[in-house]
Structure 1
Amino acid sequence: MLKIAKGRISYPAVIGAIIFMIIQVIANLNLPSLTSNIVNNGVAKGDISYIWKIGFEMIGFSLLSVVAAFGNVFLASRSSQQLGKNLRTDIYHKVINFSNDEFDKVETSSLITRTTNDVVQIQNVAMMALRMMIMAPIMLVGASFLAYTKSHELTWIFLVAIPILLVFIGIIMGFAIPLFRAMQTKTDRINLVFREGLTGVRVIRAFRQDQFEQDRFEDANKDYTQNAIKVNTIVALAFPVMTLIMSGTNVAIVWFGGQLISSQTMQVGNMIAFMTYAMQVLMSFMMLAMVFAFIPRAAASASRIQEVLAIKTKIHNPAKPTSLPAESTHSLAFDNVNYRYQNAEQLALEKIDFQAHSGQTVAIIGGTGSGKSTLVNLIPRFYDIESGHVKIDGHDVRDLDLADLHRAVSFVPQTATLFTGTIRDNMQFGNKDATDEEIWHALAIARSTDFVKEEGGLDAHVEQGGGNFSGGQRQRLAIARALVKHAAVYVFDDSFSALDFKTDAQLRAELRQDAQIQKGVVVIVAQRIATVADADLILVLDNGQLVGKGTHAELKANNEVYQEIMKSQLREEDQL
């Protein structure tokens, strides 16, 4: 907890909250003594002026307590909220810079829980710490001392009441703490099931698994609910137990205090003050118990957040990054590249070697799982290679500043992702300075002009994930967004799969004719022979190995794997 808070919480606000709390406690501790003085010296003697004098003092201490309480709550809230804000910011910044390897370590649903629910748990405990955790020990010590000064004969009651209170609290917390710790894991489960249900709703309906998914969510929800009911029921027992012990303590004080008063060894005012201090002592123990009940859950949340923050990002800027100079011509080269997934025994890519220059198109084809997407993910350093070199314009990508590298590579992933906003917003995601003319030009190349106009132009609304567009339309918009960006390398990772053959052919023809795109290198991952046939260089992958390299004509004549792919897709009389 302290490690998580260090450097993320406002120290002046914390100090201010502590000072205000000390003032509040001191003011509250003075009120029972003043009440005792009014009874002993004012009421008993009929001294009205004394009662008014002490009454005004009590009003003053009460107002001071209110002002101090306000200051403490304000600063404690400010500190806890700032802690939460900084934690969310740090988690987001950490996650946004994860490589694909790091993303594989933590599930998305768990990351969402850690950024929201776990942070809230830490905020709540920080707030309680600056309120109850400071108030309770000061009040406990102060009230115990002042109670002793009012009647040391009755202090033995504390020796009976406090151990009983601690035993009950210990039993309650012993049952509650494991359940508190389980809450976060169960929250993760609900988020996972709910997120899968939302993102996969079409698949669920298509396979008529609605009831199965509802049952799955119901099980997760019921498990969480039962756990929450159980832990809240257990914690709720603390209040009646506390009330019972406090009532018993008051009865004991009145009983034995009455005997002391009858023997004239104790004044009535002192007994009243002693009863108030006794309640403050017991309430202090209660507040500490409540804080310690929530600490285990917050500690579990802090541990989960620390797991994310402690993940070491493998891909980062070099100590002395090389700047990528602006050039009119560009190149891409793989020099004997090997890559292995984290903790994998076998290489995912082995001895990949090729070169391409401005105006050239490199196509990558192969069976499912052959390593096509893995290969193109190495270009923008979504993964880092094990050995060899990946070079852009003659510079190893590992020597480049990551910002420069990502500016140099325009990437269209397999899954077309659009963001909530307008079409213009999504297009400028690739190039924030893009003009409407440049956007329309990119849309024309991506064969998207017609349906964008039908939707209302560049200001047409885009729903979350592009849900108001078809799969092919989303792909074309994602392609257009990549084309708006002026890059050295354009990567299309199986980005034409949802396009019909005619649109596919037209789009690739436009790519070849566009002067800006021809300044860079185009890399296309595809499954269809028709998509790769006109490429300047075709790479054939099989089980992570480069088993063929050349033009369509060369591979058609000499490469067995390429020939098999052709036979599986085209009839002999239709082969290109």
Structure 2
Amino acid sequence: MFKLAKGRMSIWAVIGAVLFMVVQVTANLNIPSLTSDIVNNGVVNGDIDYIWRVGMKMIVFSLIGILAATGNVFLASRTSMKLGSNLRNDIYSKVINMSNDEYDQIETSSMITRTTNDVIQIQNVYMMMLRMMLMSPVMLIGASFLAYNKNHRLTLVFLVVLPIMLIFVGFLLYLAVPKFKAMQTKTDRLNRVFREGLTGVRVIRAFRRDKFEQDRFEDANLDFTRNAINVNIIMAFSFPVIQMIISGTNVAIVWFGAKLIGVQAMPVGNLISFMAYAAQILVSFMMLSMVFIMIPRAQASAKRIQEVFDLKSTLKEDEKPVQADKTPGNHTLKFSHVDYRYANAEKPVLTDIDFKSQSGQTIGIIGGTGSGKTSLVNLIPRFYDTEKGEIILDGQDIRHYGLNDLRDMISFVPQKAALFRGSLRENMKFGKADATDEEIWQALDIAQATDFVKEDPAGLDQYVEQNGDNYSGGQRQRLTIARALVKKAAVYVFDDSFSALDFKTDAVLRQALQDDEHMQQSIIVIVAERIATVADADNILVLDEGEVTGQGTHNELKDNNEIYQEIINSQIKKGDEV
């Protein structure tokens, strides 16, 4: 937990909070002694002036205590909230820059919990530490010393009370800590079930699994609720017991104190101040106990967050990366005997992938489901790293480029069309922040999206809902293609990005790509399930179980490649020509 705070909290704010806390405790410890002086020297002697003088001191100490407490709370809350803010920023930065191998190791629902709930647990505990955990022992020691000075015989009461408190707090820790730790995993489960229900709502309704999913969520919710209720019962039970111990202590102090006063072994004022110090001692002990109950939960949260930071990236960058050449034309892309396997997989998903291409050429990649098409194109922008072999772009192994430079050279359209909430213009500028409206309209025109965009009076300012839910599947695909085209890149990758388009729109869009001047100077990689989408490609790779079983033009493969022929026969009616 302290490792997470290093470098994310202001040391001066922490020191300031500690100093304010010391001033507050000092002021609070002086007030019972002044009360004792008023009773012993003022009330007993009827000295009103003395009462006023000491009373003014009490007011001054009270004001100092209030101001110091305000300063302590301000600095403690500010630095702990800053810690939470820095942790969230660092977690998000880590996640954004993780390779897909790392991202696959932690569920999305768990990642959300770690970024929100776990961070809140840590910042709350640090807030408590800068307030109560530091204040409690100082006040405990100070009040104990001053109480002993008032009457050392009465302090024998604490030899009975404190062991009882210690045993009770130990029992609380034994019961509460496991349940506090379980809260985080149960929160993960609740988030996961809820998220699956939201993202899969159409499937749930289509298969009439509403009741099943509702029961599943209710089960997770009840499990979380029972655990939370048990924790709260334990904590609720602790307060009256501790209050009873404090009240019993006061009764014992008054009982024995009255006897001491009766034999004139102790002034009345000393008894009053001793009771105040006793309250401070027991309250400090109680606050310290509460902190120790909360720490294990925060420690569990810190461990979960540290797991994110400890994920080792498989993507290594050279200390002195090669500068990428982003000028149009003259680009080459080569896969040289590339193998790749997913983390912990028994066998490679890609084996001995070998091909090359240059500017102005289109590479088509086709094959059955699970043949490794998406895995292959994910290697180009280094979403994953090869296990064996090299991917060479413009004469350099892509691992020698900086990741930012490499990905600046590549424009990627993922298999799932993803749009972001905001305006259409903001989405189109995702790959090129300074893109002009003219460039955006040109990209929309190539992507065959101009017509339906112009139908909205807002034009480029029209609102895009989360995931682009206010567009149809085909419209979303065309908009994501347009977004990729706005960015001027050396390599354009279309990962099954034409699947939601009808054959006519598919053909017109691909022809527009071929006719565009910039695209003629770039390398185009198209992954597709349909023969028609890749039929015009300069080189077509046929994948089967991660291996290239053939490559060449459509006509060459149609005559010589058995798997390609099977795909044709499964998609084309007998007697039709492709």
Q: Per the shorter chain, which TM-score range?
A: over 0.9
Aligned 1:504-543 pairs, distance under 5 A: 504-543=506-545
Shift of 1:575: 3.3
TM value normalised by structure 2: 0.99
User: Is the 2:326–2:490 Cα contact (8 Å) retained in structure 1?
Assistant: no
Q: Do 1:566 and 1:575's aligned partners in 2 also have CA atoms closer than 8 Å? A: no
Measure the CA separation in 1 of the matches of 2:326 and 2:86. 37
- Partners of 2:328 and 2:181 in 1: CA distance: 59
Whether the aligned pair in 1 keeps the contact of 2:364 and 2:539 (CA below 8 Å) is yes
Aligned: 1:63 with 2:58: no
Structure 1 position 373 matched with structure 2 position 374: yes
Which of 529, 533, 555 pairs up with 1:553? 555
Structure 2 residue 480 is matched with structure 1 residue 489? no
Instruction: Give the C-alpha shift of residue 78 in structure 1.
Output: 1.0
The answer for unaligned runs of 5 or more in structure 1 is: none
CA contact (8 A) 1:17 1:71 kept: yes
**C-alpha offsets along residues 251-279 of structure 1, whole Å, 9 cap, x if unaligned?**
11111110110100110000001111111
Amino acid at match of 1:103: Y
Give a deviation string over 1:401-454, Cα, whole Å, max 9, x none: 111111100000000000000111000001111111111111111111111112
Summarize the alignment of residues 286-301 of structure 1 with structure 2, pairs less than 5 Å apart.
286-301=286-301
| CA shift for structure 1 position 328 | 3.2
- Residue-by-residue CA offset, 1:33-75 (whole Å, 9 max, x unaligned): 0000000000000011100010000001000000000000000
Q: Is the 8 A contact 1:350 1:545 kept in 2?
A: yes
What secondary structure is seen at the aligned counterpart in 1 of 2:98?
Answer: coil
Moved over 2 A (4+): none
Give the corresponding residue for 1:27: 27
DSSP-derived class of the 2:246 partner: helix
SS of 1:237's equivalent in the other structure is helix
Alpha-carbon distance between aligned partners in 1 of 2:65 and 2:477, rounded to the nearest angstrom: 64
Q: Deviations over 1:118-166 (max 9, x none)?
A: 0000000000000000111001111111101111111111011111111
Q: Does 1:348 align with 2:349?
A: yes
Secondary structure of residue in 2 paired with 1:389: strand
Matched with 1:258 is 258
Q: Which residue of 2 aligns with 1:407?
A: 408
Superposition pairs for residues 326-365 of structure 1, below 5 Å?
326-329=326-329, 330-365=331-366
C-alpha contact 1:316 1:402 (8 A) present in aligned 2: no
Q: Matches of 1:328 and 1:158 in 2, distance apart?
A: 83
1:563 to 541, 562, 565: 565
Letter in 2 for 1:231: V
Shift of 1:175: 0.5
Q: Tell me how far apart the structure 1 counterparts of residues 294 and 167 of structure 2 sit (CA, whole Å).
A: 18
Q: Aligned equivalents of 1:324 and 1:228: distance in 2?
A: 55
1:126 aligns to what?
126
Q: How does 1:108-123 map to 2 (within 5 A)?
A: 108-123=108-123
Number of equivalenced pairs: 576
2:338–2:352 CA contact under 8 A, matched in 1: yes
Paired with 2:90 and 2:399, the residues of 1 have a C-alpha distance of 25
* Deviates most, 331-340 or 372-381: 331-340
Report deviation, 1:331: 1.5
Offset, 1:345: 2.3
Q: Which amino acid aligns with 1:430?
A: G
In 1: Cα distance, 2:196 partner to 2:349 partner: 28
Equivalent-residue separation in structure 1 for 2:326 and 2:430 (angstroms): 21
Instruction: List aligned pairs for 1:183-198, cutoff 5 A.
Output: 183-198=183-198
| Aligned mates of 1:326, 1:189 — CA distance in 2 | 46
| 1:358 Cα deviation after fit | 1.1
Q: Residue 125 of structure 1 contacts residue 294 of structure 1 at CA under 8 Å; is this kept in 2?
A: yes
Where does residue 47 of structure 1 map in the other structure? 47
Deviation at 1:316, TM superposition (A): 3.4
Asked if the contact 1:365–1:540 (Cα under 8 Å) also holds between the matched residues in 2, the reply is yes
Q: Distance in 2 between matches of 1:206 and 1:423?
A: 31
Amino acid at match of 2:344: N
Find the counterpart in structure 2 of residue 458 from structure 1: 460
Structure 1 residue 308 and structure 2 residue 302: aligned? no
Aligned to 1:397: 398
Question: How much does 1:327 deviate?
Answer: 3.2
Amino acid at match of 1:518: Q
The answer as to whether partners of 2:541 and 2:548 remain within 8 angstroms in 1 is yes
Match of 2:7 in 1: 7
Distance of 1:209 and 1:480 partners within structure 2: 37
Q: Is the 8 A contact 1:173 1:235 kept in 2?
A: no
In structure 2, what residue type is equivalent to 1:409?
I
- Which residue identity is paired with 1:559? N
Q: Retained in 1: the 8 A contact 2:531–2:568? A: yes
Contact residue 326 and residue 409 of structure 2 kept, 8 A: no
Partner letter of residue 147 of structure 2? A
Instruction: Classify the secondary structure of the residue corresponding to 1:373.
Output: helix
SS of the residue corresponding to residue 575 of structure 2 reads: helix
Segment of structure 1 superposing worse, 326-335 or 195-204: 326-335
Deviation digits for residues 532-551 of structure 1 (CA, Å, limit 9, x no counterpart): 11111000000100100000
Corresponding residue SS for 2:551:
strand
Percent of aligned positions that are identical = 66
Normalization by structure 1: what TM-score?
0.99
Does the Cα contact within 8 Å between 1:173 and 1:293 map onto a contact in 2? Answer: yes
